[in-house]
Amino acid sequence: MTGASDVMRVTARLRALQGVPGVSPRLAANCAALAARLGEPVRIGLFGLPGAGKLALLDALCASRLAPLAPLPTLELAHGHELRTEAILPDGSAVQSVGLPDADTLSRAPAFLRVHAPLPALQGRRFLLVDCDADLREFAAALGWAAPRVDIALWCARGWSGLDAQLWGTAPESLANHAALVLTGDAAHAGGWHGAEGFEAVFRADPEGIARHLDQTAAEAAHHDLAAAEWMLQRHGLASEPIAKMPAGSAVASAAPNPAQRGPLPPTAPPTMRPTMPRALGQTLRQTAPETPPPDAKAELGRLFQYLRGAAARISDGLGDGPLSGEACRGLLDALAGIFDTLSERASDLDRAQETWPDLAAVLFEAQDMALLLRMEGGAEQAADAARLLLQLRHDMEVRLAA
């Protein structure tokens, strides 16, 4: 099982790779983003209609004591060495206090609460409870705001209703990719959840079962991230001991939570770090290539182009006309990452092409790293980024071959 020692070991090597003389700024930035992500707690979002039992579920999962303070605004609950609260007021000012939110703080109608508590259940976890009226437009905005701040979503419902379906239907795909439905009503009321599609699991009010689901999903995601980081380190000559395999039956290879952008969670959070797109291949080639490339160099680049064109065509033929599901996006990212791996491997053997375009292998290598990080993030947006990168490479090779 992946443990803290694995995280520390891989993170240390990512930091070491950042400090290697001559490492590209882009690779250093990607290592920093990956190291930061590995050190972050898994982020769990609680959503649902007013009165759906979100606070009660949060208390049951964390042994916190927030429900008696209801109603509460949107809040973040994270681990800390002492119990303290930061309240963000409507005017943007912040008020800090020791303990849980007190009556004076709540009387000022805070827009957001950040609570730190020394609770064992919060180690390695951070909860975001989103409070919102049952208004379709406001709910869509709240879910869109929460999506980059959540790895696993829990939709709480007394019983699955048409309104639940309508509101949850506005969730961005990155939020819905790894979501579970939690039925918080009594057995008779909670029995009707037919039509609740797209959830990985459905739970009754079973905190222990939900906690096991969160632990398993977070462990699979951590192992997925560590394995990808280890692969990147091996490619750059900083390999370390193999990471322990996940237990049999885990779904690491096919289903890992979307580890979207990491960062703090204020109401108006700053832009979060994500991998930067590599330079366009054509831009680099145009800067370094002669006006009339040698025929043998063009022949080598032509063979690389033929592989790229054929691989892209096979992917295109396998895509349907409608929007891609989360599983389809993961499959597409896997296929695109494989193409970039092959392009980088084949380019390393093209001596004449590399003499003509000296940055060819380096640019493809950076594109390969980018594809890896996009694959780790998962989701439709990342699949679209990887596809655009592939199309850009194809277009720029066409330009070179036409010279």
Query: What residue spans define the domains of the chain?
Result: 1-274, 282-403
Q: What local confidence, expressed as pLDDT, does residue 193 receive?
A: 61
The set of residues, in sequence order, having a beta carbon less than 8 Å from that of 348 and lying 6+ positions away, is 361
Q: Quick check: bond before 71 cis, omega within 30?
A: yes
Residue 7 confidence (pLDDT) above 80: no
Average pLDDT over residues 357-373: 75
Residue 169 confidence (pLDDT) above 80: yes
Least confident window among 54-58, 145-149, 165-169, 388-392: 388-392
Residue 270 or residue 394, greater confidence: 394
User: How far is Cα 298 from Cα 332, in angstroms, rounded to an integer?
Assistant: 30
The set of residues, in sequence order, having a beta carbon less than 8 Å from that of 56 and lying 6+ positions away, is 67, 184
Whether pTM > 0.85 for this model: the answer is no
Query: DSSP string spanning 270-304?
Result: PPPB-PPPPPPHHHHHHHHS-SS--HHHHHHHHHH
Tens digits of residue pLDDT in 154-165: 999 988 888 998
Q: What local confidence, expressed as pLDDT, does residue 221 receive?
A: 74
Query: What strands, in cross-sheet order, belong to the sheet with 75-79?
Result: 94-98, 84-88, 112-117, 75-79, 125-129, 42-48, 152-157, 179-183, 201-203
Least confident window among 140-144, 318-322, 343-347: 318-322
Q: What local confidence, expressed as pLDDT, does residue 106 receive?
A: 93
Fold category of 1-274 in CATH: Rossmann fold (3.40.50)
Q: What local confidence, expressed as pLDDT, does residue 115 receive?
A: 95
- β-bridge mates for residue 117, sequence order: 79
pLDDT band at 252 (very low <50, low <70, confident <90, very high): very low
User: How far is Cα 46 from Cα 24, in angstroms, rounded to an integer?
Assistant: 40
The set of residues, in sequence order, having a beta carbon less than 8 Å from that of 117 and lying 6+ positions away, is 62, 64, 77, 78, 79, 80, 83
Coil, strand or helix at 87:
strand
The most confident of the ranges 160-164, 193-197, 357-361 is 160-164
- Mean pLDDT (the chain, rounded): 77
User: How far is Cα 149 from Cα 269, in angstroms, rounded to an integer?
Assistant: 9
